[in-house]
Structure 1
Amino acid sequence: MLTVTDNARTAVDSLAEQAGVPAEGGLRIAQSAEQPGNFELALVPAPQPEDQVVDESGQTNVYVDASAATALASLQLDAEPSTEGPGFVLTPQG
């Protein structure tokens, strides 16, 4: 299952708060419809019924679309700061 680093957890919390996302909302990762093999990240007010909840700590809501779960299973979500805001990256679990 996809894991979430502390950096990514902090970035998701910050972005969700700035965007006014409700408590049950969070970051959703799904397969890109336009670019197969790529993923889209979006802040959502709530998960879709088939989404997996990946943050085991229960502190940050990160959801993975069921169709993307297998492709993301061995990866971790991390965030790197930039002047435009955090940039999310998917890297192999270490």
Structure 2
Amino acid sequence: MVTLTDNAIGLIRRLTARPGVPDQAGLRIATGSGAGALTVGVVSGPLDGDHIVDSSGARVFLDAAAVRALDDKSLDAALQDGTVTFTVTDRPA
């Protein structure tokens, strides 16, 4: 299962704590249109069939293909010039 770095946890919590965002909101990662592509976005809640990862209050919803693609990965995040960037890396052994 994908793990979240401390940076990712903090930024996901900030994104989902904004005014007007529902309490059950989280970051959804799903398969994109290209081979190996993933889409990422803040959503109000999981879709049917999503797997939910909750790490210290940072909620991530994964579709079935994203679960498989990120099984042995780590999700990191960075904030630069007001833009959040997510990076997927192999989980350290």
What corresponds to 1:16 in structure 2?
16
CA-based RMSD of the aligned residues comes to: 1.4
8 Å CA contact retained: 1:3, 1:55 = no
TM-score, structure 2 normalization: 0.88
What TM-score do the two structures reach when normalised by structure 1? Answer: 0.87
Structure 2: state its 5+ residue gaps.
Answer: none
Distance 2:70 2:88 in 1: 8
| Superposition map of 1:1-94 within 5 A | 1-18=1-18, 20-33=20-33, 35-57=34-56, 59-94=57-92
Asked whether the 8 Å contact 1:4–1:55 carries over to 2, the reply is no
Percent identity among equivalent residues?
36
What is the alpha-carbon distance in structure 2 between the residues aligned to residue 55 and residue 77 of structure 1?
A: 13
- Hey, which of these two has a bigger chunk of strand by percent? 2
Find the aligned partners of 2:75 and 2:31 in 1 and give their Cα distance. 15
After superposition, the C-alpha distances for 1:31-55 in whole angstroms (9 at most, x for unaligned) are 102x221110011101012111123
Deviation at 1:67, TM superposition (A): 2.0
Structure 1 residue runs without a partner (length 5+): none
The offset of 1:17, in angstroms, is 2.2
| Cα distance per residue 1:45-66 (max 9 Å; x no partner) | 0101211112344x11111111
SS in 2 for 1:18: coil
Runs of 4+ in 1 over 6 A off after TM superposition: none
